[in-house]
A and B are shown apart, each in its own frame.
Chain A
C-alpha cells in the first residue's frame, strides 16, 4: 500500500469517526427534549418531505434566492459522485477510476466530468452572489443585529469554503487537461477548466502533476473538514432539513398543543371523583418551558435545523414594526442554550445546574409578549420550523409557574374567569345585542 493511500485512509477514518461522534452528540442533545409523537401519518410525511425538503417547494416563494440555492444544492449533491471516485482513488491508489466509462465513440466519463464542472461553476456563482448579498448589497434579513459576530462569520466561512473547494476542482482538471493536450490524449474539452489551460501552458509536466495532486488533496481535505464543520455550524440544515420536514407538524397551524398535565389538574378541580394518574418521577412536572429540556425533541431538532436565513423574521409583524421579537433569534437562542447544556453534560456526566435558563438568560419576556401568534414565521420557514410553539411554551412558563404575565393580561384572565369574557361585562348581558335590531 502506498504512503498516500495510508494517509488518505487515516484521514478518512478520523474524519468519519469525528463526524459520527459529533452526530451522536447532537442526537443526544435533541433527545434531552420531551416526548412528542411525530411518526404517525407516514404517507403524508413522505409526501411533504419530498415536496418541501427534496423539492424545495417553499424556497420558491422568493424566486431569486431559490434559484441560486437550487444551483448550490443540486451541484453539491451531484458533485458527490465525483467525490466518491476521489475516495476510491485515494483508498486504492488508482487515478480517475471511473474513466473506464469513456467508451469508444462515446466518452461518457468526460461528459460526466464536464457536467460536474458546469454544476461546480453554478455552485461557485451561487455562493459568490450569496456573499455579495450578505456583505455588499446587505439584504436586510441577512445583516440583522442577531447575526453580529459568529453567525455572520459562520455564513461567510461556509460560502468561501464552498467556493475554494469548487475552485480546486477546476484547477485540478485544468492541470490534467493541459498535460493531456500536450500528449494529445484528451480530445474533448472541459467546459470550465479549458479556459484555465492558457494560464498553465508555461508550466512543466512535472509542475502540472504537482498542481493536480495538490488540488486533489485540497479537495479531499476540504470535504472532510466541511463534513465536520457542518455539525457545529448553521450549515447542518443540509442534513437535518430532511428529518425535520418529515417530522413536521401536520395539524392546522392554529391548533396549539393541549397540556396533558393541565388537563388532569382541571379535571380534578371540576370533578372531585377524578383521580389523576401518578406523576412520572423522572420528569418533574413543569407547566410550559423554562429551559431547553422542557421543550420537545422536535422543537430542539428545529433549533439544530435552522440555517438562520431570516425569512421568518422578515415576515414577523412584531419585528417589522420595530419590536424586539425575532423568530430567528428564538431558534438561535434555543440552539445556543442547548449547546451550552450539552457541554455541561459532557463535562459533568450529567446536567449540573448552572443558574441559567433559556427563559430570561437568552429569551426575554419583552420578546415573548410581542408575538401576535399570527403564524407568519411558521408559514415562511422553508424547512417547516415552528418558532411559535417555543414562544407559547415559554409564555406558559411565565404565566403558570411565575405568574409573570403583563398586568393587562392578568386583568383579561380575571375577566374571563369571572365574566366569561375578556372584558368586564356581565355574562347576563351577553344577549343584549338582539334588542338592537
Chain B
C-alpha cells in the first residue's frame, strides 16, 4: 500500500487533526541523500500508524544557519513567520528530522512566541520502542559493528546521547564507541553555518579527521542522526575510498532496516 503523506492543511480540510507535526527541514526536503532519511522517518511513522502531518510548501528554514552565522535579523524574520504558521495550525508537538531544526524550534522559538513540544526523530524512535509500539529485530544489522557519531546539536547542545544508541542496541548490533564520543564527541565540521562555506585555511578537513577516527574501529556502518553529519561523514568515507565496505546511515534508516513486518 502506498504511504500517505498529508499536509496540515489537508488534515484540517478533512476535519481531522494529526497527533504530531513532522518538521522535515531544508536538507530533508531538498538534499537527495537526506530525502532518503525523510522517507525512512515517514516509513517509521506509517509503520506504527501515527497520524502525522507535514507543512509541505508552508515549511520554511527555521533560521538556524542564519543565526549561527550571526544574522539575527534573518533568523528572527524566519522564526516569526514560521511561528505564525505553526500557531495558526495550533501545533502542539513536533518531531524533526534534523538536530539543528530541533534545537532552534525547541530552544529559540519560545522567546519569540512559539511554544511546542519538540523532539528529534531518534527520541521518537526510542519512545516508540520503549512503548512496545515499534518492534525491531536484528536482521541485516545483527552482530554488525556500528559506531554512532554524535551530532553536536543533539548531544552537547541538548544532552541527547542515549536515544540514538538505544535504537542501535535494540537491533542487536555491536555498538562501538569512538574515542571521542558523547560529551567529548568531535564535530563533523558542518555546524555553525560551515556547511554553506569553504572551510577556513588549515591543515586538515574536520570531516576527514572525524571519519578517520570512525574508520579506526573498522565498522560496517557509521550511524548519524543529522543530515549535515551525513554529508560530512559520507564525504569522509569517500575520501578514504571506503564506500564499498563502510556505509553511512541515519538511525531512522537503520531502524527501517530492522522493522518487523
Contacts and interface: CB of A to CB of B under 8 A. Distances in A.
B186 A317 contact: yes
Interface of B: 2-3, 5, 7, 24, 26, 28-30, 35, 38-39, 42, 54, 56-57, 59-61, 63, 65-74, 76-78, 80-81, 103, 106-108, 111-112, 152-153, 156-159, 183-187, 189-206, 209-210
Nearest to A262: B72
A315 interface: yes
B205 A392 contact: no
B59 A430 contact: yes
Nearest to B197: A408
Contacts of A429: 29-30
B71 A321 contact: no
A273 interface: no
Given A366-B201, A433-B35, A437-B3, A427 B57 contact: yes
Contacts of A255: 103, 107-108, 157
Interface string A373-417: 111101100000000000010111111100001101101110011
B80 A427 contact: no
Interface stretch (A45-53, A116-124, A263-271): A263-271
Contact count band on A: 35 or more
| Most B-side CB within 10 Å, residue of A256, A320, A399, A405 | A256
A375 B81 CA distance: 28
B35 A436 contact: yes
Contact of A376 (B61, B80, B153, B186): B186
A271 B202 CA distance: 45
8 contacts: A252-B103, A254-B103, A266-B76, A322-B202, A376-B152, A395-B69, A412-B196, A430-B56
Describe A's contact surface by its main secondary structure: helix
Interface string A411-433: 11100110011110101111111
Contact of B5 (A252, A372, A420, A434): A434
| Most B-side CB within 10 Å, residue of A262, A375, A399, A425 | A375
A242 interface: no
Nearest to B102: A254
B152 A375 contact: yes
Contacts of B67: 256
A324 interface: yes
Contacts of B156: 253-254, 374-376, 378-379
A437 B40 CA distance: 10
B104 to A, nearest CB: 8
B36 to A, nearest CB: 9
Nearest to A394: B70
A433 B29 contact: yes
A396 B72 contact: yes
Given A252-B158, A375-B156, A425-B30, A258 B76 contact: yes
A413 B67 CA distance: 10
Interface string A149-161: 0000000000000
Contacts of B81: 270
Contacts of B3: 437
Given A263-B112, A375-B157, A408-B198, A392 B54 contact: no
A265 B72 CA distance: 11
Contacts of A405: 69-71
B200 A323 contact: yes
A287 interface: yes
B5 A371 contact: no
Nearest to A407: B197
Nearest to B31: A423
A42 B136 CA distance: 44
B70 A408 contact: no
Given A266-B73, A371-B192, A420-B60, A322 B38 contact: no
A321 B204 contact: yes
A431 B200 contact: no
A373 B197 contact: no
A369 interface: yes
Given A323-B201, A409-B196, A433-B24, A376 B70 contact: no
B219 to A, nearest CB: 20
Nearest to A254: B157
Contacts of A422: 26, 61, 65, 195-196
A241 interface: no
Interface in A314-352: 315, 317-318, 320-325
